[in-house]
Structure 1
Amino acid sequence: MKKILQVCAIDRSVESLLYPLIEKLMDEGYEVHTACSDTGRFDVLTAKGLTLRSIPIKRKIDPISNLGTIGALYRLMKREKYDVVHVHTPIAAVLGRVAARLAGVSHVIYTAHGYFFHEGMSKSTYQMYYTLEKWFARHMTDYLLLQSREDYELSVQDGFSSKTERILHIGNGVDLTERFQPRHVTREKVQSIKSSLGLQDDHVVITYVGRMVSEKGIFELLEAFRKLAGEFPRLRLLLVGDVSSSERDQRGQNFVELCRQHPQIILAGFRTDIPELMATSDIFVLPSHREGLPRSIIEAMAMAKPIVATNIRGCREEVRDGVNGFLVEPKQVSPLYAALKKLVVDSRLREAFGQNSRSIALEHFDERTVLAKQAALFAQLTGQLREEREQEKGGSGEDWTRREHSSFP
């Protein structure tokens, strides 16, 4: 049985981002381990059948801690002899690739869920992170997978790999047929959630789902909502997420305290019932400063919600301004307030944008397509597809991986 190691910073990333891929790989016969920090979700994930390895991974540059992480990952990789190491999230991806190279792992894959450098940075900061990402992509990575098309095009144009064909655009998606299917959330379930959150049927609910950190635009959102709340007493802001102790940015603690003081803001904390929460919502908002190809927007689109997001990489690949939502400039309160107000006052516009969101999600953001692309690459690298085809064809020895997946050299 071929062995794969997934590496990311924390267990919540496994739960929110990686679980569908891990489940698919396990279903296809791979032994999959995941190395990350345990922040309290290990028991839940283990109960789902995942094999987890607790490796402390700080989400910031800390030389002593980072070296310790590299050492722990190196020892794990040498002991388990993985066929493929697949890394995610900025710091964990760097440390994981260093450990994989030292351990002599044959195939190292990096999925960039969104490059850390972005257009909102100063020129010098952008250049520093750009240079680091490019160097690690060229010298420590065998295959570079990009969720955002903008990231993909930049990587190809700027030569992030000496072999351009090893830079692959995989996109992002969710389960559109079962989990994120509006018809599957009953009226009774919606009423139950509304009751638990103190919501009434005549409330207009703006929902945010994500980390409580300043780069998500939460402080601009709070200021914009305060203005709206003064005009619309029946308006509510539902905040889903919390502040992890592993975050570099702990200003979210102050944000949460400010929100607790506002009678029209609901702090739901960390939740896993996202489809049901989306079903109780009227508008979804993500005022981020930096994104890759945000899954939260796709989840809201799949549940037929209108979107207000910032005009940045990733978000503008999902939101078509004036079609399924509005795009506003990042770090600015007034445009965010104005866009939200347009949707708050116009239920017909919310409905039209929401239906367009669902249609766009069905066309472009199906999780099955994203998973199939990655599964094909793993089959190519491990020879699993060759073995299966040879069994089907009586061991003819023909290179089926090359014929069916020629995009994976």
Structure 2
Amino acid sequence: MKFLMVSSYLPSVLNFRGKLLEAIHQQGYEIHIIAPDLSSFSDEYQKLRSLGYQVYSVPMQRTGTNPVTDLSTVFALYKLIHKIKPDCVLCYTIKPVIYGTLAAWLAKVPKRFALITGLGYAFQNVDQDSTRSIFQKLVHGLYRQALSHCSKTFFQNPDDLALFRALKLLQSNIPAVVVNGSGVNVSDFDVMPLPLNSQNQVAISFLLIARLLGDKGVREYAEAAAIIKKNHPDIQFNLVGWIDDNPTAITQLELDAWVNAGTLKYWGKLSDVRPAIAASSVYVLPSYREGTPRTVLEAMAMGRAVITTDAPGCRETVVDGDNGFLVEVKSIADLVEAMQKFIEQPELAIQMGKRSREIALNKYDVHQVNKHMMTEMGLL
């Protein structure tokens, strides 16, 4: 039996789907992986190969909608999938979901699954009644075609599923399942003590880990930090991430200005985010929309309180007033108010951090999430 995964970014196969592939492999399946740019990720490629997985390269641009290039991607995917002859395929992120699913259908793969991990730029400011751009209509039409050939579609929050149904991107006859994100391997993210000040009390500091995009709320985080620092100059605001090739990306000039002004401490892009989480007492993600944010789950597993938005994907991770606070999307005032609560009552970071760990264990453990997915795919 052969299981195929199609991805647009090889490192995410290990980081986000590694435990799922391991569990499927243990069920006796050969594991096959298709992704672009293998030469750029030799360490990940070698790691996957060392696990006994077959890894194939395919031309695929993560961004852009050049029809000639995308058509060549579909053809290359079809040729590879026809050669591999998998019993089951799982595609995730936009281009693999669209082109991988269509190619798998053309290659007559018996079981075809899509995982919607987040909606991204093609769904920005989109709801059932809103006007959509030509680009958005194109992408949504492609989604509709691809998902019509799925055996089942997985979503990481109920809001995304509801939107796909409302926009008629997912036909009523296609089964859909909501899973608790990608899960987190809680054994890899141990609870770490909160940082202390010179009086041996909890030192409140904040952290955001994200691709440096506008719709991750990076600008709101920086503006809130600047406001807080006027009255509390010693409070540290940490930022981990990188500038991405995306229409909403933060510019290098903006980042440099925040760092040079002392507003943010920039850690760069980290392959291991645990040191940054350990150095911070409260995790902040002011994102406009997510699938289920993995960084929040990792911070929760390490016993950190969370401030995030009352937005799809984000709101599922926080019970307001229990393991953190929910704030309105794009509201700098709300963000400042929530941060101020931790500064005035540092003990909240301890209490809410404990609850975050409990929620991570009970709801987001990666083994539970993977078991749910595998059951729904008929692999158990």
Query: What is the TM-score normalised by the length of structure 1?
Result: 0.80
Matched, 1:144 2:153: yes
Matched, 1:125 2:125: no
* Equivalent position of 2:228 in the other structure: 228
Q: Which moved more, 1:24-33 or 1:316-325?
A: 24-33
* Equivalent position of 1:17 in the other structure: 16
Q: Is the 8 A contact 1:174 1:366 kept in 2?
A: yes
Partners in 1 of 2:365 and 2:70 — Cα distance? 36
**Unmatched segments (≥5 aa) in structure 1:** 192-199, 386-409
Deviation at 1:156, TM superposition (A): 6.6
Structure 1 residues 249 and 153: alpha-carbon distance in aligned structure 2, compared to 1, 3 A threshold: closer
Query: What is the TM-score normalised by the length of structure 2?
Result: 0.85
Query: Which residue of 43, 68, 73 corresponds with 2:72?
Result: 68
**Unmatched segments (≥5 aa) in structure 2:** none
Deviation at 1:75, TM superposition (A): 1.5
As a proportion of its length, which structure holds more helix?
A: 1
Deviation at 1:137, TM superposition (A): 5.8
Matched, 1:208 2:208: yes
Q: Percent identity?
A: 27
Structure 1 residues 79 and 134: alpha-carbon distance in aligned structure 2, compared to 1, 3 A threshold: closer
Deviation at 1:324, TM superposition (A): 1.2
Give the letter for the 1:124 counterpart.
T
Q: Is the 8 A contact 1:137 1:161 kept in 2?
A: no
* Equivalent position of 2:106 in the other structure: 102
* Equivalent position of 1:363 in the other structure: 362
Q: Which secondary structure does the structure 1 equivalent of 2:308 belong to?
A: strand
Q: Is the 8 A contact 2:98 2:143 kept in 1?
A: no
Partners in 1 of 2:33 and 2:42 — Cα distance? 11
Deviation at 1:235, TM superposition (A): 1.5
Structure 1 residues 203 and 56: alpha-carbon distance in aligned structure 2, compared to 1, 3 A threshold: farther
Deviation at 1:243, TM superposition (A): 2.1
Deviations 1:248-272 (A, max 9, x none): 5443434433333233522222223
Partners in 1 of 2:263 and 2:98 — Cα distance? 42
Q: Which moved more, 1:58-67 or 1:303-312?
A: 58-67
Task: Give the number of equivalent residue pairs.
Answer: 365
Structure 1 residues 249 and 62: alpha-carbon distance in aligned structure 2, compared to 1, 3 A threshold: farther
Residues 309-320 of structure 1: pairs in structure 2 closer than 5 A: 309-320=308-319
Q: Which moved more, 1:88-97 or 1:132-141?
A: 132-141
Partners in 1 of 2:205 and 2:258 — Cα distance? 15
Q: Which moved more, 1:327-336 or 1:128-137?
A: 128-137
Q: Is the 8 A contact 1:93 1:110 kept in 2?
A: yes
Structure 1 residues 263 and 271: alpha-carbon distance in aligned structure 2, compared to 1, 3 A threshold: same
Structure 1 residues 270 and 315: alpha-carbon distance in aligned structure 2, compared to 1, 3 A threshold: same
* Equivalent position of 2:57 in the other structure: 54
Give the letter for the 2:60 counterpart.
I
Partners in 2 of 1:15 and 1:243 — Cα distance? 21
Q: Is the 8 A contact 2:289 2:314 kept in 1?
A: no
Q: Which secondary structure does the structure 1 equivalent of 2:207 belong to?
A: strand
Q: Is the 8 A contact 2:193 2:278 kept in 1?
A: no
* Equivalent position of 2:173 in the other structure: 163
Q: Which secondary structure does the structure 1 equivalent of 2:236 belong to?
A: strand
Partners in 2 of 1:22 and 1:91 — Cα distance? 20
Structure 1 residues 131 and 57: alpha-carbon distance in aligned structure 2, compared to 1, 3 A threshold: closer
Deviation at 1:155, TM superposition (A): 5.6
Structure 1 residues 31 and 262: alpha-carbon distance in aligned structure 2, compared to 1, 3 A threshold: farther
